[in-house]
Amino acid sequence: MSMQDYIDGAESALLHTYNRYQIVFDHADGVYMYDIEGKKYLDFYAGIAVFALGHHYKDYDDALKEQIDKIIHTSNYYYNVPAIEAAMKLKKVSGMDRVFYTNSGAEAVEGALKAARKYAFLRDGHTDHEIIAMNHSFHGRTFGALSVTGNAHYREAFEPMIGNIRFADLNDIDSVKAQLSEKTCAIILETIQGEGGIIPAEEGFLKEIRRICDEKDILLILDEIQCGMGRSGYMFAWQEYGVKPDIMTCAKALGCGVPVGAFLMTEKVAAHSLVAGDHGTTYGGNPLACCAINKVLDLYEENHIIEHVNQVAKHLTEVLDDFAARYSFVTCRRGKGLMQGLVFDRPVAGVIGRALEKGLVLINAGTNIIRFIPPLVITDENIDEMAAILEECMKEEASAAR
């Protein structure tokens, strides 16, 4: 079958909830992907920040194959070794105390919201508690996660959302204080906003949020689904500031391709929130998914992945700053580590489309930002290869605007 035959088949069979690029990928290796016609692409989006170790990483693949030959699924009525080992490793790298496995980031957010409301219910017996979320945030597409996603366009067709959600502005502490009430039980935010524009939370803002939460017995939920797992240059982005959350969500690179997420919490929250029967999942924490977490965390340590991120991120930052300085339609670069964005004064779809034609896979954040979230194993040479292709696209954009 041809590329177009496959695309036509997809359009006749799949629910059209994505406007997909007209490419059918077939296989991948390292930081490169190949379509079914054999064309090679440099991957600078990593499956939306999922493939931290790149594609087809042999030690990772071998671990999963070995686990498949043992046992794939048991359900949570029984213990399994990979889930126990992965939980202990997650506790170690995060400093959190308890782990609940999910199948996705959105499900991790759902569990975090339930835990926060149960915590508040056990504290005062009320069921009218409020949660403060951030404008321009993105937490997922399920009802709870969508309810705290700060973009009305995503929510409006599915109203009513879960109730008692208030919105404030990231890095504007006064806007948060204006939303506080005696009913506030949690504040949720991405440590670095992804879909909302690659905007890091500022240290002073996070520390003041933490102070307010401590003072008022409000739970701080930090969404590290995209910015976590080393992407910022720290295992979790909040660790740069030492602002520990009460509940944290993670997914994406947690399994490096196997669909798995988790929400983690402190012992204080665990002891006063969800109990047997309050929350569950059939697939969450199955041996195959947790084998992936185990191997990912082992490989991060063995191969010094976070140290590598901090090394190559310097070069990526310099390259992107140079683009921002030389092209008037780029207003700024922002981000941390290998989670970076170039902000344009116009839509970026044309630049991304031209890059794809030239063999470079990029992704947007909103309509006017190119998001750079490559595998964490990229090299300076890969960055230079990306820059050479992007340079061609930028020149074409400049010419088209004349």
Task: Report the sign of the C-alpha dihedral through residues 134, 135, 140, 145, in that order.
Answer: positive
Say whether pLDDT at 139 is over 70.
yes
Mean pLDDT within 140-146: 97
Retrieve residue 256's tokens: 């490096």
Mean pLDDT within 276-290: 96
Retrieve residue 80's tokens: 């399994």
Retrieve residue 145's tokens: 């996660």
Q: What pLDDT score was predicted for residue 84? A: 98
Count of C-beta atoms within a 10 Å radius of residue 362:
25
Mean pLDDT within 312-316: 98
What is the amino acid identity at position 145?
Answer: A
Say whether pLDDT at 344 is over 70.
yes
Topology classification of domain 3-53+305-401: Aspartate Aminotransferase, domain 1 (3.90.1150)
- Contact indicator for 273, 265 with CB cutoff of 8 Å: yes
Q: What pLDDT score was predicted for residue 401? A: 66
Distance between CA atoms of 140 and 276, rounded to whole angstroms?
A: 25
| DSSP state for residue 202 in the 8-state scheme | P
Distance between CA atoms of 375 and 309, rounded to whole angstroms?
A: 10
pLDDT tens-digit readout, 52-67: 999 999 999 999 999 9
Q: Are strands 360-361 and 40-43 parallel, antiparallel or unpaired?
A: parallel
Q: What pLDDT score was predicted for residue 399? A: 85
Q: What pLDDT score was predicted for residue 117? A: 98
Q: What pLDDT score was predicted for residue 21? A: 93
Say whether pLDDT at 121 is over 80.
yes
Q: What pLDDT score was predicted for residue 398? A: 87
Retrieve residue 210's tokens: 């933490």
Same fold across 3-53+305-401 and 71-302: no
∠ at Cα 20 (15, 24), nearest 5°?
A: 100
| DSSP state for residue 238 in the 8-state scheme | G
- Contact indicator for 21, 29 with CB cutoff of 8 Å: no
Topology classification of domain 71-302: Aspartate Aminotransferase; domain 2 (3.40.640)
Q: What pLDDT score was predicted for residue 400? A: 78
pLDDT tens-digit readout, 176-223: 999 999 999 999 999 999 999 999 999 999 999 999 999 999 999 999
Say whether pLDDT at 402 is over 80.
no
Percentage of the chain modeled with pLDDT above 70 = 100
Q: Is 54 helix (H, G, I), strand (E, B) or coil?
A: coil
Distance between CA atoms of 30 and 55, rounded to whole angstroms?
A: 5
The kind and range of the H/E element at 100 are: strand 98-102
Sheet holding 25-29, edge to edge: 25-29, 32-35, 40-43, 360-361
Chain length of the chain: 402
Q: What pLDDT score was predicted for residue 181? A: 97
Domain ranges of the chain: 3-53+305-401, 71-302
Mean pLDDT within 325-332: 96
Mean pLDDT within 136-158: 96
pLDDT tens-digit readout, 361-384: 999 999 999 999 999 999 999 999
